[in-house]
Amino acid sequence: MRGAFLHPMQDLPPGIPVDPETNPPVGPLVDATPRPLPARVPHRGVSVDLEPLHVRHVPELFRAAQGQPAEASWAYLAAGPFATEPAMRSHVAAFAATHDPMAWAIRPHTTGTADGWLTLMEIHPAHAHIEIGNIWFSPRMQRSRAATESMFLLMRHAMDDLGYRRMTWKCNALNMPSRRAADRLGFTYEGTLRDLLVVKGRVRSTAWFSILGDEWPARRDAIAGWLDAANWGADGKPKRSLSAFRA
């Protein structure tokens, strides 16, 4: 139906796409083909490999978890810390068997050991929406090239290989390192859902971020440029920050 909109265009929420031929206004048509589900397969990178999470990774993961106060790595996660290797094994056995979230162990080339995990989750093929989350980096992995590349491998797989149109990132609203990581990778802050969950007996508000399909090529190229060997000096440090590649 054409003619005057029931709601003037200037009254619509800013930044929300609309089909100008519709009345009342609705969003534009998109490719509604359901996207493929991720497969439990390895992903190989330049500085890191991702392996489908398995209980065989537990001895290495448990050793990697040592070396800092237990609260530091696990404060904002629903699981952990694990006082014993059998306790971690019990969690990983169940965690590795799920399809949403689907988890990978992270094996940096510098150590050769499983030093963390991450997942694709909230997988909605019909809506082309997927999330990267449930990320745990051991102390020696944090703020490393391998940490960034591990996330990039799954982001690129979801957006380029599988064709998802929306990738999200969410975290405890108090988790400032995670919020900074989302911003660094190019996610856009969408808002905070207040008092959304109870985690470990504490109320949690959740901050939400996203990258959309038309934004992804620029984000992908910036991260790829930062990861490129030409950006890394002999001292193992990047010559330019990731933000410089997004400028």
Average confidence (pLDDT) per 10 residues, the chain, 247 residues = 56 86 92 97 98 98 84 89 96 97 98 98 98 95 94 98 98 97 97 97 98 98 97 94 91
Q: pLDDT at position 1, please?
A: 44
pTM for the model stands at 0.94
CA angle 231-235-240, nearest 5°?
30
Q: pLDDT at position 72, please?
A: 79
Burial class (CB in 10 A: 0-12, 13-18, 19+), 111: middle
**What are the residue boundaries of the structural domains of the chain, listed by start?**
42-246
Query: What strands, in cross-sheet order, belong to the sheet with 116-124?
Result: 43-44, 48-52, 102-108, 116-124, 129-137, 166-172, 202-212, 188-199
CATH of domain 42-246: 3.40.630.30
